[in-house]
Structure 1
Amino acid sequence: MTDYNGIVSKYEGQWAGRPKNVSEGVLFSYYAPGAQSVFISGDMNGWNSDVSRLVKGHDDVWRAIFKLRHGRSYDYKFVVDGNWITDPNNPDLNPDTSGGANSIVYIGGNGEVLQADNPERKKFTLEGRGISHTFFDSARYKRRFNLFYILPPNYD
């Protein structure tokens, strides 16, 4: 991933909203007029909370652009003055390991940010892992159970 923070100023004045495609990659933005620092932490940077600082524009919107790998999803959160928060402009959430949620962005096979109505989103699984399904017949309970399990990435 490449962080294109040096050129985000050309997007100043655009509304802070959910992640969107720009010519350099995917633009993430967050409106926080009183914030001292805004970082993004997620799958795109190994969940490092102090590496990817967003650039604050004169319009009080913080922005960063990432070149993201095509055909996968990325969980992320903003870290605003040390507080981890989901993206208030992105309704797409994914459960996290602590009982909360992360924001998630889906990047299609051509690099486009996939919206909710895009059928390509159905093929995505948690952090690139495959979800498999089988049935389990229990003699003890005299019934069939649906069993779902998650496989590691690239599992054959």
Structure 2
Amino acid sequence: MAIKKQFLKTKPVCKVTFKVDAETAETVSVAGDWNKWNSKKAPLKKLKNGSFTGTVNLEQGKNYEFKYVVDGNWQNEPEADKLVWNSYAGSENSVLEL
């Protein structure tokens, strides 16, 4: 799993690319507070090498909580900027600091 951030100079936006190595998975998506935790709004595309990737544009200067949904199982990003406890879900969420 990996995250790549590209800060745009002309707009207060950061292009965030998510990459998940999940060769045996059928579906992978990203759910977070920017898409109201709806995994159907951010499916990742499966590449020939078996990894999944996708890019979202997020406003700079904010923190965003998220998780990956791999074949229905919620997973954190090991390379996230930090993890925070979410009492509603009863688990930690990955955090992007932009």
Match of 2:95 in 1: 104
Deviation for aligned residue 1:88: 2.9
**AA at the equivalent of 2:93:** N
Deviation for aligned residue 1:59: 2.1
**AA at the equivalent of 2:5:** N
Q: Return the structure number with greater relative CO, CA threshold 8 A, min gap 6.
A: 2
Q: Which 4+ residue blocks in structure 1 deviate beyond 4 angstroms?
A: none
5+ residue gaps, structure 1, are 1-15, 108-156
Q: Which digits, 9 at most, give the CA deviation of each residue in 1:28-76, with x for residues without a partner?
A: 1111000000010001211112221001112222111111011000000
Matched, 1:40 2:24: no
TM-score by length of 1: 0.54
TM-score by length of 2: 0.82
Within 5 A, what are the aligned runs for 1:1-156? 16-17=1-2, 19-22=3-6, 25-90=15-80, 92-97=82-87, 98-107=89-98
**Identity among equivalent pairs (%):** 32
5+ residue gaps, structure 2, are 9-13
Structure 1 or 2: more helix by fraction: 1
Larger Rg: 1
Deviation for aligned residue 1:91: 5.9
Question: SS state of the match for residue 104, structure 1?
Answer: strand
Please provide the CA RMSD for this pair. Answer: 1.8
